[in-house]
C-alpha cells in the first residue's frame, strides 16, 4: 500500500470527550471516528487491525475444535422470551412492518440453542462448538471510553454443547487455552479472574482482564497465592474473629440534624467511618431485608443476592424505608428492626461501640453493641472485597488492580438447554439436555486494550501480529534518485516476500513521516534518507527506538529476521498456554 | 476438516415454502437455516462459501483502488434526514433509551459522505474509494426465495469520491471491471444492463443480472446489438409511425355492465386488447395526469415520472378518479377529459377505432379516434418494454430474459454531496462538491445465484473458488487398512499442499458419502474404496461426472493439476474483463 493513497486522516487535537489513551490515539491516528455515542466508524487502519485480530481468533478457535457460522443480527423476540431475557434493559428493540418484535442480537445463546435443538439428535454428533464474529448492539446507559464500552461493538461469541459436565470441563479448558493464545498473539497477558456471571448465568466463569489504570473493573489478586477475582465476585477469606477488646460503653441517641451520609455524620460526631454500621434495606421479592456492612465498606449486591438465593435484589424505595424504620432515608439503623431479616457482613461481629442510624429523623445512636441493642439473623460474606482483605484460598491478603475485561467464559451447564427443551439422545437411550458453555471476546475492545497496554508519548506501539502494517518504508526525499531507488527496492522486495508493508512516498516533510509512522505504531520502520547515496538505509524499531544502519543489499534479510523475531516472541507466549493446559 | 466433526445437518425434505432451487439446496445441504421470514443462520458450510466470496471481493476491490473500512450497523436518523431518506418504508427503525431515533443501516451513502466531509479537504486527497462488507437490514414487504430477497443480508457497498465527472467515469469503469472479475471468479457471467436507480438516485447506473428462470427481474436484450436493460428502465426505440390504414368508423357508446377490466370488456365486446386505449390517472404532486397505453401494454411508472420530471407519482385514488372522470374506477377514458394533462405512449398515435372507457358507469366507447374524439397533450415512451419491441440502439428488436440482480453500480454525481454540504478545495482554489459513485453487491444473494446457475438433480455444483471444500476424500470402509491408509495419505498430503480438503471418515454407508459429496457440490472427489487394495483410487469430477482411476502415488499430482485447471478456467474469464476495460 502507498501512503499517498491510504485514507488515514490524522488529528492534531482530539475531542474533549476522549479521556483514555486508546480512545485518544485511535482517533488521532485515523483508526476510528465517532458516529454517535458508543457507535464508531472503523477507518481503514482500524479495520485492518480488527481483521487481523479476527484472523487470529479464527485460527485459534478452529485449532481448538470450534467451527464458524453466522447467526442473525436481527433476532425475533420469541427466542429471548423462551429464557426470560426479552426484558433486559440493554436490548435494542425494533418492530417490523407486521408489528412483530425483534432485538438487535446482544448475545446468541438462544439462537444457537435453537439451531442445535432443531438439528442435533444424538450423542454421536457431540461435542459441538459453534462460534461467530459479529457486530452486536447493546443499549448501554453510559457508553464511554471509545471502543471500551460501546453500544455497537465487534464480538466473538462461541457456544459449546457437550454430553456431560466432564466433557464441558474439557471443552472449557480448550477454550481457555484458545482465548489465552489469542490474547498472547495480540501482545496481551490478561489476568484470568473469577467473576460474576451477570445476565448470562451459569456457575463457574472466568474473565480475562487486561490490567490498565483506565479499566472499569476492580480486580483482587492475592499477593501470596495469585488467586484473582473480580471485585463483583471475590470471596473474602473468613478468619476466626478477634473481637475488639475495647470496653462497651452505654448507648445513647445523638442529634445529627440534616446529616444523612456516613461522611456527614462521621465529621459531625468526630467518629471514624470504621466505627459505623451501615444499614441498607433491600427488597428480595416480597421480603424486606436489612443488610449491614461496616461504614467504610461497600455492600456487594451479587453476594447478597446469592446468599438470599434470589435472582435479583433491589434497594428499597423511600416509602418502604419509612415504613420499616419509621424514619426518612439516611437514618436507618439495626436497633429495633422488628420482624425484618437482618443479614450482616461477618466483619460486623467483631465491632464494639458502633455508630448507627437511630430510625428517627436527624438522629443517630452511638456506642451501640451487637446482641445488646441489636441482633443479626445471619452473618455472611457480603462486602465488596478490598485491598488488604484476607484471601479465600490461602493465608495471604488481596492487593487491588484495575482491569479491562476482554474475554469472559462461562460453564452454563443446562440452564439454557432446559429452558428451551434442547435435548439429545444419550448412549444409554435417555434424552438429556445439552450441557453448554459460552465464550465471549470483545474484538473491538481488544484493539483498544492493546493500545491501553502498549503506547508511549509518540503514539501506539502495535505487536507485529496485529499491526496495521508490519513494516513502513519512508522515502524522505521524493526528488532524490538514490533514495527513491532504495525505497522502491525495499517496498517491492518486501511485498514479494509476503510482508505487509506501507510505502510512505507522500509529498510531506520527513518529520511528518516519522511522526505518522510512530503514531500509527508500525513495529519496523525503514528510512530511505541521506544514507541512501552511500547504499545504506536505517532501520528503526518502534518499541525500543533502536536504530540500525544497514546496507541496502542486506536490509531485506535483516527486516525479515527482525520480523520473524517479533512473531516468535508472541508465539512463544502463546505456546506457554498450550503447555499449561486448562484454567 | 473431518466430516465426523463438521456440523452440516442435511435434510431429506425441505420446508414447503422453499420454492426455488437455491433455497431448497442450501437448506438440504445444511448451508443455511431459517430464523424468521427473510432472516437466516449461515451454518458452517454456508458461511465458508460466504467468506470465500468476501475474500474474492476484497482482493478485487483492493486491486482496483478501493479500501476497506467498516461503518456502523446502527445509523442515527439525523444522517438519513439530511438527504430525505429517513421516510423510506424499508427502514428498520429503533430508539435508544434516550428516545433518539436510529435505523439499521440499509445503505451507507450518508454515513460515508459524513466521514469524507469531516476528514477530506483537498483535491490532493482524491480519488477516494471506500468499501465495506456488512450485514444490512431492510424491512422488505415480501421477503422471499431464501437468500434472494432477505430482510437481513450480507452486502458489499463501496463509495467513490472524485474531483469531477471524468474521474468518476474512470473509477466507475474500474469498479465495473472489479465487479465483473468477482462474478467471473464465482463462476457467474451476469448480463450487464441499464437499470432504474430507485431509492439510490443518480443518472447512469448498471445492474449485473444473473439470468435465471427464478429471477425477479425482466431483462430486455436486443437480439441484434446486445444492448440490455431492466424492463423497469428499458427505452423503446421510437420508429417512424405507420398509422393503421383501417377506415375510421363512427364512435358509439356501448353498455358494459360490471365490466371494468380490459379482459372483461374485451371478452364482452369481442375486441382484442390491442384495440383498447388504457387510461390511467396519476397524481404527480398536485397535478392529475392521465397516462394512456395500449390495452395489452403495461405503463412504466418510472418512465412516466422521469418524463414528468417528478420524483414520485402515485395512482389517483377512487375519489380523485370520480372527480376527474365523473365515473367510478374502471370506466375512465380519454374522451372529454377537460383540463387534464394527457400523456400517451407513442404507440397510441398509430391506433385507429379504439375502445376506451366512457367516463360513465357501466359503459365504454368503441371506434374512438385520436384528434377526433380525444386529444393528447404529449407523446412519450411510457410503456414497459416487452419482447418484440424495437431496440433503442439499433434496428433490432428485444428478446426477454428473467434475471436476478447481484450487483448494481451508480454514478451518483453530486446528489449526496450537495445535500450534505460535502466539499473539497479544488486545484483552482474553488470549493466543489465531491462527485460520487456507489457500488453494491449482494454477497449472500451471490451465493444463492451461483446455486441457481449451477446445480443438477444430485445437488449443488460449486465453482472451485467458492466451493465449501475444494476436494473431498471419501473413505468408504473405515475397517479396511488399505483404504484407511490411502485416504489418510491423500488427506494429509493435500492439506500440506494447501488444498482445502474434507476427509469423510464418518461411520456411514458409502452411498451416504457419495450423496452428501454431490449434494454439498465439492468439485473434486477422491474415493478410497475397493481399488485401494490394488494401490488405486478413483477421482470423480462433480461437474461432468467424469471418473478417473489412478495410482495412489500419482493421485496428489493429478488432483493438483485438476484443481489448477479449474482455477485457471475461472481466472481466464476474469482476465477477459480486465482486457475489455470499462462498461
Q: What is the rounded distance in angstroms from the CA atom of residue A265 to the CA atom of residue A333? A: 13
Question: A7-21, B71-85, B122-136, B562-576 — which is least confidently predicted?
Answer: A7-21
Beta bridge partners of A162: A435
Q: Which helix (H) or strand (E) holds A548?
A: strand A547-551
pLDDT of A332 higher than 80: yes
Among chain A residues, the shortest Cα distance to B114 is held by: A35
| pLDDT score at B310 | 87
Residue from B20, B45, B54 nearest B441 by CA = B54
Question: Nearest by CB to A152, which of B50, B73, B152?
Answer: B73
Hey, what's the cell of A366? 452511638
- Gap from A515 CA to chain B (nearest CA, Å): 19
Arithmetic mean of pLDDT, A14-18 = 85
Q: What is the rounded distance in angstroms from the CA atom of residue B431 to the CA atom of residue A563? A: 45
Hey, what's the cell of A391? 484471601
Flag if A35 and B76 touch (Cβ within 8 Å).
yes
The residues spanned by each domain of chain A are 47-219+402-451, 252-380, 462-572
Residue from A256, A257, A222, A215 nearest A236 by CA = A222
Cα separations (Å) of B126 from A101, B121, B122, B168, B435?
44, 9, 7, 11, 10
**How is residue A397 annotated by DSSP?**
B
3-state DSSP assignment of residue B177: helix
Say which CATH architecture domain A47-219+402-451 belongs to.
2-Layer Sandwich (3.30)
DSSP per-residue letters across B39-85: EEEE-HHHHHHHHHHHHHHHHHHHHTT-EE-B--SEEEHHHHHHTT-
Q: Which residue has the higher pLDDT, A86 or A260?
A: A86
Flag if B76 and A39 touch (Cβ within 8 Å).
yes
Q: What is the rounded distance in angstroms from the CA atom of residue B581 to the CA atom of residue B583? A: 7
pLDDT of B46 higher than 80: yes
| pLDDT score at B99 | 93
Question: Nearest by CB to A76, which of B35, B67, B96?
Answer: B35
pLDDT in tens, B322-363: 888 888 888 889 998 878 899 999 999 999 999 999 998 899
pLDDT in tens, B99-116: 999 999 999 999 999 999
pLDDT in tens, B179-231: 999 999 999 999 999 887 777 777 789 999 999 988 889 999 999 998 899 98
Arithmetic mean of pLDDT, A386-415 = 93
Q: Which helix (H) or strand (E) holds A355?
A: strand A354-357
Arithmetic mean of pLDDT, B366-395 = 92
Total beta-carbon pairs less than 8 A apart between chain A and chain B: 147
Q: What is the rounded distance in angstroms from the CA atom of residue B71 to the CA atom of residue B135? A: 11
Flag if B120 and A9 touch (Cβ within 8 Å).
yes
Q: What is the rounded distance in angstroms from the CA atom of residue A110 to the CA atom of residue A108? A: 5
Flag if B35 and A71 touch (Cβ within 8 Å).
yes
Judged on CB neighbours under 10 Å (0-12, 13-18, 19+), A413 is: buried
pLDDT in tens, A438-454: 999 999 999 999 999 99
Flag if B9 and A120 touch (Cβ within 8 Å).
yes
Q: What is the CATH number of domain B459-571?
A: 3.40.50.800
Flag if B36 and A76 touch (Cβ within 8 Å).
yes
3-state DSSP assignment of residue A28: helix
- Look-up of cell digits 474473629: A241
Flag if A69 and B120 touch (Cβ within 8 Å).
no
Q: What value does the mean pLDDT of chain B take?
A: 93
| pLDDT score at A66 | 98
Q: Roughly how many angstroms between the first and final C-alpha of chain A, as a whole number?
A: 41
- Gap from B68 CA to chain A (nearest CA, Å): 6
- Homologous superfamily assigned to B21-235+399-453: Bira Bifunctional Protein; Domain 2 (3.30.930.10)
- Look-up of cell digits 387534464: B340
In our burial notation (b when 16+ CB lie closer than 10 A, e otherwise), range A33-42 reads: bbbbbbbbbb
| pLDDT score at B145 | 84
Q: What is the CATH number of domain A462-572?
A: 3.40.50.800
Flag if A96 and B93 touch (Cβ within 8 Å).
no
3-state DSSP assignment of residue A319: helix
Question: B125-139, B323-337, B453-467, B533-547 — which is least confidently predicted?
Answer: B323-337
| pLDDT score at B30 | 97
- Gap from A459 CA to chain B (nearest CA, Å): 20
Residue from A190, A199, A236, A238 nearest A217 by CA = A190
- Assess A67–B contact: CB distance below 8 Å, yes or no: yes
Hey, what's the cell of B486? 490411502
- Is residue B467 within 8 A of residue B499, CB to CB? The reply is no
pLDDT in tens, B469-525: 999 999 999 999 999 999 999 999 999 999 999 999 999 999 999 999 999 999 999
Question: A73-82, A266-275, B177-186 — which is least confidently predicted?
Answer: A266-275
Cis peptide before A493 (omega within 30 of 0): no
Residue of A67, A88, A147, A155 to mutate for B, most B C-beta atoms under 10 A: A67
- Assess A120–B contact: CB distance below 8 Å, yes or no: yes
- Assess B44–A contact: CB distance below 8 Å, yes or no: yes
Residues whose CB is less than 8 angstroms from the CB of residue B108 and which lie 6 or more positions away in sequence, other chains included: B71, B75, B132, B134, B157, B159
| pLDDT score at B16 | 85
- Homologous superfamily assigned to A252-380: YbaK/aminoacyl-tRNA synthetase-associated domain (3.90.960.10)
Q: Which helix (H) or strand (E) holds B23?
A: helix B21-28
Taking a contact as any Cβ pair under 8 Å apart, which residues of chain B between 93 and 112 contact chain A?
A: 93-94, 96-97, 100, 102, 104, 111
**Interface predicted TM-score of the whole assembly (ipTM), two decimals:** 0.91
Judged on CB neighbours under 10 Å (0-12, 13-18, 19+), A507 is: exposed
Contacts of B97 in chain A (CB under 8 A): 89, 139, 141
Flag if A43 and B69 touch (Cβ within 8 Å).
yes
- Is residue A505 within 8 A of residue A3, CB to CB? The reply is yes
In our burial notation (b when 16+ CB lie closer than 10 A, e otherwise), range B3-42 reads: beebbbbbeeeeeeebebbbbbbbbbbbbbbbbbbbbbbb
Hey, what's the cell of B109? 451513502
**How is residue B299 annotated by DSSP?**
B
| pLDDT score at A259 | 86
Flag if B41 and A128 touch (Cβ within 8 Å).
no
Quickly state the pLDDT bin for B2 (edges 50, 70, 90).
Answer: very high
Taking a contact as any Cβ pair under 8 Å apart, which residues of chain A between 138 and 157 contact chain B?
A: 139, 141, 151-152
Contacts of B65 in chain A (CB under 8 A): 5
pLDDT of B458 higher than 80: yes
- Assess A307–B contact: CB distance below 8 Å, yes or no: no
| pLDDT score at A106 | 93
Flag if A139 and B96 touch (Cβ within 8 Å).
yes
- Look-up of cell digits 437480439: B223
pLDDT in tens, B228-247: 999 888 899 888 877 778 88
Arithmetic mean of pLDDT, A487-514 = 97
Strands A459-460 and A101-104: unpaired
Q: What is the rounded distance in angstroms from the CA atom of residue A85 to the CA atom of residue A79? A: 9
- Is residue A74 within 8 A of residue A105, CB to CB? The reply is yes
pTM: 0.91
The gap from C-alpha B558 to its chain's centroid, in whole angstroms, comes to 38
Q: Which helix (H) or strand (E) holds B508?
A: none
- Assess B50–A contact: CB distance below 8 Å, yes or no: yes
pLDDT of A406 higher than 80: yes
Q: What value does the mean pLDDT of chain A take?
A: 93
C-alpha R_g of chain A: 29
Contacts of A142 in chain B (CB under 8 A): none
Flag if A43 and B115 touch (Cβ within 8 Å).
yes
Q: What is the rounded distance in angstroms from the CA atom of residue A552 to the CA atom of residue A370? A: 82
3-state DSSP assignment of residue B577: helix
Flag if B75 and A35 touch (Cβ within 8 Å).
yes
pLDDT in tens, A41-53: 999 999 999 999 9
| pLDDT score at B198 | 74
pLDDT of B426 higher than 80: yes
Q: What is the rounded distance in angstroms from the CA atom of residue A30 to the CA atom of residue A11? A: 7
Hey, what's the cell of B293? 397505453
Arithmetic mean of pLDDT, B315-322 = 89
Say what angle helices B552-580 and B481-496 make with each other, to 10 degrees: 30
Other C-beta atoms closer than 10 Å to the C-beta of A16 total: 6
Amino acid at each position: 500500500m502507498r501512503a499517498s493513497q491510504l485514507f488515514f486522516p490524522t488529528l492534531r487535537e482530539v475531542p474533549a470527550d476522549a479521556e483514555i489513551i486508546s480512545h485518544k490515539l485511535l482517533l488521532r491516528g485515523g483508526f476510528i471516528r465517532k458516529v454517535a455515542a458508543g457507535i464508531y466508524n472503523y477507518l481503514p487502519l482500524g479495520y485492518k487491525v480488527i481483521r487481523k485480530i479476527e484472523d487470529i481468533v479464527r485460527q485459534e478457535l478452529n485449532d481448538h475444535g470450534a467451527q464458524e457460522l453466522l447467526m442473525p443480527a436481527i433476532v425475533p423476540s420469541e427466542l429471548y422470551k423462551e429464557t426470560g431475557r426479552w426484558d433486559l434493559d440493554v436490548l435494542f428493540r425494533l418492530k417490523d412492518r407486521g408489528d412483530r418484535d425483534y432485538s438487535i442480537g446482544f448475545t446468541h445463546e438462544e439462537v444457537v440453542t435453537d439451531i442445535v435443538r432443531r438439528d442435533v439428535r444424538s450423542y454421536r454428533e457431540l461435542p459441538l462448538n459453534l462460534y461467530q464474529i459479529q457486530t452486536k448492539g447493546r443499549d448501554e446507559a453510559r457508553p464511554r471510553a471509545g471502543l471500551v464500552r460501546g453500544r455497537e461493538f465487534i464480538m466473538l461469541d462461541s457456544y459449546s454443547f457437550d454430553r456431560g459436565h466432564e466433557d464441558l470441563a474439557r471443552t472449557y479448558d480448550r477454550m481457555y487455552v484458545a482465548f489465552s493464545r489469542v490474547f498472547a498473539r495480540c501482545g496481551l497477558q490478561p489476568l484470568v479472574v473469577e467473576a460474576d456471571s451477570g445476565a448470562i448465568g451459569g456457575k463457574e466463569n472466568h474473565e480475562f482482564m487486561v490490567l490498565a489504570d483506565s479499566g472499569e473493573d476492580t480486580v483482587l489478586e492475592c499477593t501470596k497465592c495469585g488467586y484473582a477475582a473480580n471485585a463483583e465476585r471475590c470471596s473474602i477469606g473468613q478468619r476466626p474473629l478477634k473481637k475488639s477488646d475495647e470496653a462497651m460503653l452505654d448507648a445513647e441517641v445523638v442529634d445529627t440534624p440534616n446529616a444523612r451520609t456516613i461522611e456527614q455524620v462521621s465529621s459531625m460526631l468526630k467518629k471514624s467511618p470504621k466505627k459505623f454500621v451501615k444499614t441498607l434495606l433491600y427488597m428480595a421479592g416480597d421480603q424486606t431485608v436489612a443488610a449491614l456492612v461496616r461504614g467504610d465498606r461497600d455492600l456487594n449486591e451479587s453476594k447478597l443476592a446469592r446468599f438470599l438465593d434470589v435472582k435479583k435484589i433491589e434497594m428499597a424505595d423511600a416509602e418502604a424505608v419509612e415504613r420499616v424504620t419509621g424514619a426518612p432515608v439516611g437514618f436507618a439503623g439495626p436497633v429495633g428492626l422488628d420482624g425484618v431479616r437482618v443479614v450482616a457482613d461477618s466483619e460486623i461481629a467483631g465491632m464494639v461501640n458502633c455508630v448507627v442510624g437511630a430510625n428517627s429523623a436527624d438522629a443517630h445512636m452511638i456506642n451501640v453493641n451487637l446482641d445488646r441493642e441489636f441482633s443479626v439473623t445471619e452473618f455472611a460474606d457480603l462486602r465488596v472485597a478490598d485491598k488488604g482483605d484476607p484471601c479465600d484460598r490461602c493465608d495471604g491478603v488481596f492487593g487491588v488492580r484495575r482491569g479491562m475485561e476482554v474475554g469472559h467464559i462461562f460453564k452454563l451447564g443446562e440452564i439454557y438447554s432446559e429452558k428451551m427443551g434442547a435435548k439429545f439422545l444419550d448412549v444409554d437411550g435417555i434424552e438429556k439436555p445439552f450441557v453448554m458453555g459460552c465464550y465471549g471476546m470483545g474484538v473491538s475492545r481488544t484493539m483498544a486494550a492493546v493500545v491501553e497496554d502498549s503506547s508511549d508519548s509518540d503514539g501506539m506501539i502495535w505487536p507485529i501480529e496485529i499491526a496495521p502494517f508490519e513494516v513502513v518504508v519512508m522515502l524522505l526525499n521524493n526528488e532524490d534518485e538514490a533514495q527513491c531507488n532504495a525505497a522502491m527496492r525495499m517496498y517491492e522486495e518486501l511485498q514479494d516476500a509476503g510482508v505487509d508493508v506501507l510505502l510512505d512516498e507522500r509529498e510531506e516533510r520527513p518529520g511528518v513521516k516519522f511522526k505518522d509512522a510512530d503514531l500509527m505504531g508500525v513495529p519496523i520502520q525503514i528510512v530511505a534518507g541521506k544514507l541512501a547515496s552511500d547504499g545504506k538505509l536505517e532501520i528503526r524499531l518502534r518499541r525500543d527506538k533502536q536504530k540500525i544502519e544497514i546496507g541496502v543489499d542486506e536490509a531485506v534479510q535483516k527486516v525479515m529476521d527482525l520480523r520473524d523475531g517479533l512473531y516468535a516472541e508472541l508465539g512463544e507466549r502463546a505456546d506457554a498456554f498450550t503447555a499449561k493446559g486448562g484454567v
